[in-house]
Chains A and B, each alone.
Chain A
Amino acid sequence: MPDSDLAARQRVDVVDRNETAFRIRMRRVKAGLANAWYELRKSRTATIGASMICVLMFLVIFAQSIATHNPVKSNYRERLAPISTEHYMGTDKFGRDIFSRVVIGGQRTVLISIAAVIFGMSIGIPIGILSGFFGGRFDSIVMRITDGFLAFPGLLLYLLIVTVAREYKLQGFWNDAILVFALGFAFWPEVARLSRSTALVEAKKEYVEAARSIGEWRLSIAMGQILPNCISPLIVNATVRLGFMILIIAALSFLGLGTSPPTPDWGSDLRAAQDHLESHPMIAVFPGLAICFSVLAFNLFGDGLRDILDPRLAER
């Protein structure tokens, strides 16, 4: 049957062509990664930051297996126990293992800040890129709205949203979702401004002209061609922002506006540790060190990344 034969041959052909395309893509990815690795090793700050982030991510992903005890189970026989091989960081006033609380609480904090950054960027990037690409009246209207949101103070937004959430006694997932919303919503105008200013520059370049001349759809030029070229300042911004988000989450829960007590959380654990500052100062040390470590990781990596991606600034 020649028909099916032809079909089969075509299928083979398609698979083959796909495979070569795949191979070419893989080679490109490999070259890109090697290049990134080379650049990364040149900048010491970026290397240190990247390794710290790797440690952090390892702890976040395997938090449940790394934690040695149940972080919310109180054990009154072991209240305020010192550091030992049983409790790596001692126990708090309810006899809960601090090491496990720091690890599990960290998982929550880091995941919330990542989600908030992604949420803020997924609103801000399309708005900014499209606004910068289309320009004209669309741009000026969108930017006025963005400016309005930018004028609205972030701290105020967190306080308001989180206070309302606390009053409704939202628990667990919903409480975290509100936090992600508040943090991300305060973040998007900044992202929109940043991506717009880069898109404005990119939109005038030749490759955009070329894409237009072969009749590519405008939306696909904006998202497929311009966006990838605007991504580097956005990545730097997101990295530094991740650290900032962790600081805000900790500060909010330190004020008692985060999660309700039994949930492990760096900020609220620090607040609780204040009761025993005189007799057991070590309780207050570990959650703070954890915050410091993660924020430093993102700041270092962000600084290094900026130097790599924008060599002009590195000379300063």
Chain B
Amino acid sequence: MLIYSINRLLQLIPIVFILTIVVFCFVQALPGDIIDTLSDMESGADPATRALLEKEYGLDQPIYVQYAYWLGDILQGDFGKSLVTRRPVATELLERIPATVYLAGVGILLSLVIAIPLGTIAAVWRNSKTDYAAQVVSLLGISIPEFWFAILCILLFSLHLGLFPSSGYVGPGEDFGLSIWYLVLPAVAIGFRQAAYTTRLTRSSMLDEINKDYVNTARSLGLSERKVIYKYTLRNALIPTVTISGLQFANLLGGTVVLETIFAWPGIGLTIYQAIQLRDYPVIQAGILFLGFKVVLINLLVDLLYRVLNPRVSLG
């Protein structure tokens, strides 16, 4: 297992290396002149300013030199300065992480609170009306685009009923009550979709467990159905649910670009989106590297986790 883990970690190196090259190449492939974009906001684009700016950002060097410098800087944790705010990109992104973690965390918690009871009930009362209702709702949940659901939520709860603000963010450290008030709609929009996935998952793993022998044994020992279901079956059935939810949480970090845009939620997703709009190259690069690296890490985690949970999977 240890050797396998080390092997798997070593395999990450080429993938991450290729990731950096691809990201660098893609941003280079973008047309449009950064100097012109910059000069619009500062002085005019006369040759002297141009040369000065090119020198400052290292744009007068050949591309592979630019790449080597860039990679070297990144390895030291220096992602350059944002072309728009002129602040270090690393600080810029790090500042945005708490908002994203906050939103994703509450969204996932909300989805678990909805999905675990719903999935369990659907499995225990299989083919009942409750089961069909749960299945229909969860199928709808994965079919509704989350941005449309978010818009409908804004329409109903914010514009029509005036219960919650339609967009904005207040940190939980500043004013907890107000922060929750702003969080409700985005968290519901995330939670609904996640709950739909998790309900399906809980239902099917619960059905798997209920048909196993130990459940019959427990029943034949005269344990009450309640005890059989809640004490033994549910506990085993929840392993995949909780595992997948953890991974979903990791996926949501930066994966909620659309929702963050709608709710003006100052997280990683919104930062990358704004950077794309403003052609803020260093921020795009860093943000996309962040996303890519995160996904690579998640994949590693999934692989290792499956080996731990199911030792029969070959270590090939």
Do A151 and B296 touch (CB < 8 A)? yes
Asked, given contacts A148-B15, A151-B296, A167-B31, whether A292 binds B143 with beta carbons under 8 Å apart, the answer is yes
Cα(A195)–Cα(B155), bound, Å: 44
Give which listed residue, A151, A164, A251, A274, contacts B145 with CB less than 8 A.
A251
Report if A303 contacts B (CB, 8 A): yes
Report if B288 contacts A (CB, 8 A): yes
Cα(A256)–Cα(B258), bound, Å: 11
Do B155 and A284 touch (CB < 8 A)? yes
- On chain B, which size bracket covers the interface? 35 or more
Q: Which of B18-26, B41-49, B71-79 contacts A (4 or more CB under 8 A)?
A: B18-26
Cα(A254)–Cα(B25), bound, Å: 26
B154: chain A residues at CB < 8 Å are: 277
Chain A residues 265 to 316 lying within 8 A of chain B, measured CB to CB, are: 270, 273-274, 277-278, 281, 284-285, 287-288, 291-292, 295-296, 299-300, 303, 316
The 5 closest A-B pairs by CB, nearest first: A288-B148, A153-B295, A296-B143, A295-B143, A160-B26
Q: Which residue of B lies closest to A168 (CB)?
A: B31
- Residues on B lying within 8 angstroms of A by beta carbon are 14-15, 18-19, 22-23, 26, 29-32, 139-140, 142-145, 147-148, 151-152, 154-155, 159, 204, 207-208, 255, 257-258, 261, 272-273, 276-277, 279, 284, 288, 291-292, 294-296, 299
Cα(A152)–Cα(B255), bound, Å: 14
What are 24 A-B interface contacts by the 8 Å CB criterion? A150-B299, A151-B15, A152-B15, A153-B294, A155-B255, A155-B257, A156-B292, A159-B272, A163-B284, A167-B279, A250-B145, A251-B258, A254-B145, A277-B151, A277-B159, A278-B159, A284-B152, A285-B152, A291-B145, A292-B143, A296-B143, A299-B142, A300-B139, A316-B204
A250: chain B residues at CB < 8 Å are: 145, 147
Give, as a whole number of angstroms, the nearest-CB distance from A271 to chain B.
9
Chain A residues 39 to 96 lying within 8 A of chain B, measured CB to CB, are: none
B142: chain A residues at CB < 8 Å are: 299
Give, as a whole number of angstroms, the nearest-CB distance from B287 to chain A.
9
Do B30 and A288 touch (CB < 8 A)? no
Give, as a whole number of angstroms, the nearest-CB distance from B268 to chain A.
12
Give which listed residue, B15, B29, B140, B152, contacts A164 with CB less than 8 A.
B29
A255: chain B residues at CB < 8 Å are: 257-258, 261, 273
Give, as a whole number of angstroms, the nearest-CB distance from A313 to chain B.
9
Report if A243 contacts B (CB, 8 A): yes
Q: Main secondary structure on chain A at its contact with chain B?
A: helix
Do B30 and A164 touch (CB < 8 A)? yes
Given A167-B32, A251-B145, 5 more A-B residue pairs with CB atoms under 8 Å apart are A151-B299, A254-B145, A288-B144, A295-B144, A296-B140
Asked, given contacts A153-B292, A156-B295, A255-B261, whether A299 binds B139 with beta carbons under 8 Å apart, the answer is yes
Give, as a whole number of angstroms, the nearest-CB distance from B121 to chain A.
16
Report if A247 contacts B (CB, 8 A): yes
Do B288 and A277 touch (CB < 8 A)? no
Give, as a whole number of angstroms, the nearest-CB distance from B9 to chain A.
13
Do A156 and B159 touch (CB < 8 A)? no
Give, as a whole number of angstroms, the nearest-CB distance from A171 to chain B.
15
B14: chain A residues at CB < 8 Å are: 148
- Residues on A lying within 8 angstroms of B by beta carbon are 148, 150-153, 155-156, 159-161, 163-164, 167-168, 243, 247, 250-251, 254-257, 270, 273-274, 277-278, 281, 284-285, 287-288, 291-292, 295-296, 299-300, 303, 316
Give which listed residue, B145, B207, B272, contacts A247 with CB less than 8 A.
B145
A167: chain B residues at CB < 8 Å are: 30-32, 279
A303: chain B residues at CB < 8 Å are: 139
Cα(A287)–Cα(B151), bound, Å: 12
B292: chain A residues at CB < 8 Å are: 152-153, 156
Cα(A272)–Cα(B139), bound, Å: 27
A278: chain B residues at CB < 8 Å are: 159
Do A291 and B30 touch (CB < 8 A)? no
Asked, given contacts A288-B148, A292-B143, A292-B144, whether A160 binds B207 with beta carbons under 8 Å apart, the answer is no
A274: chain B residues at CB < 8 Å are: 151
Residue of B30, B145, B295 with most chain A CB atoms under a 10 A cut-off? B145
A254: chain B residues at CB < 8 Å are: 145, 147, 258
Do A156 and B288 touch (CB < 8 A)? yes
Do A243 and B143 touch (CB < 8 A)? yes
Q: Which residue of A lies closest to B19 (CB)?
A: A152
B155: chain A residues at CB < 8 Å are: 277, 281, 284
A163: chain B residues at CB < 8 Å are: 26, 30, 276, 284
Give, as a whole number of angstroms, the nearest-CB distance from B233 to chain A.
14
Give, as a whole number of angstroms, the nearest-CB distance from B195 to chain A.
16
Cα(A164)–Cα(B143), bound, Å: 29
Cα(A181)–Cα(B208), bound, Å: 39
A161: chain B residues at CB < 8 Å are: 26
